[in-house]
Amino acid sequence: MEKIPDIAFSSRIRLARNVKGYPFPTVDDHYVSDIVKPVYQSLNKLGRFHLYHMGKLSALEKNVLREKHLISTDLTNHQSGAALISEDERISVMVNEEDHIREQCLMPGFRLEEAFSVLDKVDDALSDKIEFAYDTRYGYLTSCPTNVGTGMRASVMLFLPALTMTRKITAVIHAVSRERITVRGVYGEGSSAEGAMFQLSNQISLGNTESEILRHVYDTVLKISEAEISARNELLARDELALKDRVRRAYGTLTHAVILSSREFMQLFADVKLGVQMGLLPFQNAGLLDDVVVKMQPANITLMAGRELSPRERDAYRAEYVSKALLSLG
């Protein structure tokens, strides 16, 4: 299954925790300070972390972090919330989101076990300073019943263009949902699957150990990856010329467009990325493609430009940047 690194965009482990004796789901400013202090002290024993108070960040700064998947949309709406993010941006701990504490480790590619190993050490460090709300029968107590137990969500972001193009993605989603797996869009619940990107994760954690959850998600990713590879082979067998034409037209548009909306960019970029992975476009450094996706999101574009842009200016900036990036890879 050598194609898994291509199909799996990123792996994430998330742990939901609440502080014993504090009301939840959320707490007021006074309690947030009480939680942030021991979290900060614990994390800085593991490495350098930056502290971000949501009430002190601009909308742009919050959206940059959200587009990088370092904080959730929910946290951006909590003025009293905070986030502690490691220097390499792999570890993020959110305070006062849906639960008092949401720990996460995000890694590129298919690296679930490695991400869990890292986050397990983070959780141990936090538990040395903080007493979590825990029940001997039910496990960790959380705001949402589906998180009770281990409090763990293991998720993988998958790139599934062929299943999308062959219209088999709906059947796949329905099949895995029967196996207690949730499939969502790029930014989680309620978001769309832009650029054929789908986020897969376990539905519940009660009654399962962390290793059982990891194995279940791992096995499901293998099955979906096999289905995606089969769909890619089907596209080639059905009409290889049409597939090549679609891929190269997408590349031509992305390298010559003057204005490029976010939606059009994601659609065309998915075709180009598929072409690279299937050997239909000879790029020297295809790994840089994923960096372009993050940089071309609205907030990140504004940050790169160094000034506020109108929607049209942002689309023009995106077109120019993407063209230069793709031409440099060829």
DSSP track, 115-181:
HHHHHHHHHHHHHHH--B-EETTTEE--SSGGGTBT-EEEEEEEE-HHHHHTT-HHHHHHHHHTTTE
Q: What's the gap between Cα 166 and its chain centre?
A: 24
* Domain-located, residue 156: no
Average pLDDT for 124-142: 94
* Domain-located, residue 310: yes
**49-87 residue pLDDT tens:** 999 999 999 999 999 999 999 999 989 988 889 999 999
**289-301 residue pLDDT tens:** 788 888 999 999 9
* Domain-located, residue 186: no
Cβ 318 vs Cβ 296: under 8 Å: yes
pLDDT for the residue 146: 86
| Average pLDDT in the chain | 90
Instruction: Please enumerate in sequence order all residues whose Cβ is within 8 A of that of 180, keeping only pairs 6 or more positions apart, or say none.
Output: 202, 203, 204, 216
* Domain-located, residue 285: yes
Cβ 78 vs Cβ 311: under 8 Å: no
* Predicted confidence (pLDDT) at residue 1 exceeds the cutoff of 60: no
Cβ 142 vs Cβ 18: under 8 Å: yes
Residue type, 138: Y
Q: Domain span at residue 325?
A: 240-329
* Domain-located, residue 260: yes
Domain count within the chain: 1
pLDDT for the residue 191: 46
* Domain-located, residue 73: no
Average pLDDT for 17-23: 89
